[in-house]
Amino acid sequence: DQQVKQNSPSLSVQEGRISILNCDYTNSMFDYFLWYKKYPAEGPTFLISISSIKDKNEDGRFTVFLNKSAKHLSLHIVPSQPGDSAVYFCAASVSGNTPLVFGKGTRLSVIA
Amino acid sequence: DAGVIQSPRHEVTEMGQEVTLRCKPISGHDYLFWYRQTMMRGLELLIYFNNNVPIDDSGMPEDRFSAKMPNASFSTLKIQPSEPRDSAVYFCASSLDALNTGELFFGEGSRLTVL
């Protein structure tokens, strides 16, 4: 059973608009969440993270929102750029106890 | 540092053959992870090591899969015998302290095709 779910396999957005990638989790013990970005023929690279003590973390064009009651997090990219086209993986862990559990990924295509 | 280094980048083999994937983690990282990426299951954890010791191999799909870490700078993932359903991209990752919110550093992956 998938503990981390990314229900949208793909997303297409116009350049300059906002991209919103969603992630749901089932394990209420998860307290640390990360987003990784993966280009073709490369390994995933860390993008941004958030601890469960926060509900928002921002880094430049990237913002992650956490809704603990809904067990939901989202990654907002604004404005979206063609170079953002990649597969985005959501990951979660019980800090200090378990390694990262990843979702299946969402392929983002930013159209110029 | 050169990052996590994996070899081979691509492997095509026939069903029943032995496959060995190799990984050199980032120097000084205490944790090493093997993940497998497929369309159906995404990125799934196979096994991880802490200070060269296997900690959790519950993700290893079958006895055909085995992993070793003989020293801090080298790990192997072996599949014997290989089957077509093993076709996937296998990633090795390392981390200073992944179990305390540490970031994982991934290699470029080994794409395995079993015919």
Tens digits of pLDDT across chain B (115 residues): 689 999 999 999 999 999 999 999 999 999 999 999 998 888 999 999 999 999 999 999 889 999 999 999 999 999 999 999 999 999 999 998 766 566 899 999 999 999 9
Cβ atoms of B78 and B19 closer than 8 Å: yes
Q: How far is A46 from chain B (nearest CA, A)?
A: 7
Peptide bond into B8 cis (omega under 30): yes
- At residue B99, the 3 state secondary structure works out as helix
Per-residue pLDDT at A98? 79
pLDDT > 90? residue A104: yes
From B41, B43, B103, residue closest to A46, measured CB to CB: B103
Determine the residue of chain B that is closest to A47 in CA distance.
Answer: B103
Q: How far is B106 from chain A (nearest CA, A)?
A: 5
Name the DSSP class of B104: P
Looking at the complex, does the CB of residue B33 fall below 8 Å from at least one CB of chain A? Answer: yes
Contacts B103 to A, Cβ<8 Å: 34, 46, 49
Interface test with A, best of B30, B104, B108 (most A CBs within 10 A): B104
Q: Which amino acid is at A34?
A: L
Q: How far apart are CA A22 and CA A20, in angstroms?
A: 6
Q: Where are the beta strands (DSSP E) in chain A?
A: 4-5, 10-14, 19-25, 32-38, 45-51, 56-59, 62-67, 72-77, 86-93, 101-102, 106-111
Per-residue pLDDT at B39? 86
Question: Residue B106's beta-bridge partner residues?
Answer: B93
